[in-house]
Amino acid sequence: MKPKMKELQKIKGVGEVLSKRLVEAGYDTFAKIAVAGDDGLKKIQGINPSMSQSILAEARGMIEETQKCKAEKVNELKQKTDSLKIQVQNIALSVQNRFKDGVKGKIARKLEKDIGKFFSSLEKVEGDLETKASRAGKGLTKAGKRLSNLTDIKLKGISKGLKKATKSLKRVYA
């Protein structure tokens, strides 16, 4: 109850007592306050008609602000996914340039398969950015760290690193 009360106290004119009354009445989020409207708020002791209008306006403003912040975070995560795509493409080019004779047959197919799995997982994470933004951020960061270590190592290590990075992404949507 306390965290919800603290959240509601961000509204101008809502203190500790009024936030407690709002939570007890079932209005524990900005959205619920906005839906309750003028009539719902007037039923709560301590809220007069002029005050209810300002509380509604503040609650609606907080909802917009929250949505804007979430949209910014999702946009930031999309940029991170694009960065990871570029990173993996650079790793593939680096492997091609460094091991011109060594990337053939079974090794090449295995590496290609690992890259494909990584991109597949990354696409699934991109699809879940709206609903799992926090978890996606952690997974993308961890995958990025794992990929950054793959620039100057042997083929076997690159494959292993790609698997670990993919595993970090799978934790987002698993």
Looking at residue 101, its pLDDT comes to 66
pLDDT over 70 (residue 13): yes
Looking at residue 93, its pLDDT comes to 84
Looking at residue 124, its pLDDT comes to 92
pLDDT over 90 (residue 173): no
Looking at residue 48, its pLDDT comes to 82
Q: What percent of the chain has pLDDT over 90?
A: 27
Q: DSSP state, 110? A: H
Radius of gyration in angstroms for the set of CA atoms belonging to the chain, rounded to a whole number: 25
* pLDDT tens digits for range 64-107: 888 888 889 999 999 999 999 999 998 888 887 777 666 677 77
Looking at residue 103, its pLDDT comes to 65
What number is the average pLDDT over the span 41-68? Answer: 86
Q: DSSP state, 1? A: -
Q: What SS3 state is found at 11?
A: coil
Which residues have CB under 8 Å from 23's CB, separation 6+? 1, 4, 5, 8
Name the burial class of residue 73, with classes exposed (0-12), middle (13-18) and buried (19+) by CB atoms within 10 angstroms of its CB: middle
The rounded mean pLDDT for the chain is: 86
Phi-psi region of 46 (alpha: psi -120 to 50; beta: other; left: phi over 0): left
Q: Identify which of 166, 76, 159 has the alpha carbon closest to the alpha carbon of residue 123.
A: 166
Looking at residue 1, its pLDDT comes to 62
Asked if residues 171 and 139 have their Cβ atoms less than 8 Å apart, the reply is yes
**How far, in Å, CA of 155 to CA of 49, rounded?**
71
Neighbours of 83 (CB within 10 A): 13
Looking at residue 122, its pLDDT comes to 93
- The kind and range of the H/E element at 18 are helix 16-24
Looking at residue 102, its pLDDT comes to 61
- The kind and range of the H/E element at 120 are helix 105-127
Quote the pTM value. Answer: 0.67
Asked if residues 155 and 108 have their Cβ atoms less than 8 Å apart, the reply is no
What number is the average pLDDT over the span 49-75? Answer: 87
